Amino acid sequence: MKRQLIALRGTRNSGKSSALLALYRLLVTDPGTKIIAFDSFGFGLDFIAIVQINGCKVGVFNRGDDSGTVDELIKKLVLAKCKVIVCAARSRGGVGDVLASYQPKYQLQEVLKRTGDGDEVSFALVNLGVAHDLAARVYSSIMV
């Protein structure tokens, strides 16, 4: 099974951060999940985490605005031997090139972040739905 790099792509303020935090919470509620590391950046929703599920390391991070930062955090998770990496990545800028540079070692899956109908409830439901979609991709990747 080829390692997976799952990128949640979307515009600014589309809910990528909230969806990835919801994904992390979904993953750690599984009794078989072991938390290896969790670090937050600043006061927002940006974080990097490593969990272990069925012996496979899964890295999740949210800080996808700058291509240099994305590259640095992916390298950190590659060095930690994560089989699956899930990250947020803006739709614009050089982040796409950074993601593509990992394709020799990782199969890239790009997931477009939907935003909902504009109200808070719709936005929260869409974020939770995206988190469940990402969780399904993570579990599919580690069960093969």
Written as tens digits, the pLDDT of the chain (144 aa) is 689 999 999 888 888 989 999 999 999 999 999 999 999 987 777 999 999 999 999 999 998 678 899 999 999 999 999 999 999 988 777 888 999 999 989 999 999 887 766 777 788 899 999 999 999 999 999 986
Burial profile 24-48: b = 16 or more Cβ within 10 angstroms, e = fewer: bebbeeeeeeeeeeeeeeeeebbbb
Full-model pTM? 0.93
CATH topology of domain 3-143: Rossmann fold (3.40.50)
| Secondary structure element (H or E) that encloses residue 88, with its range | strand 84-90
- Report the SS3 class of residue 70: helix
List the chain domain ranges. 3-143
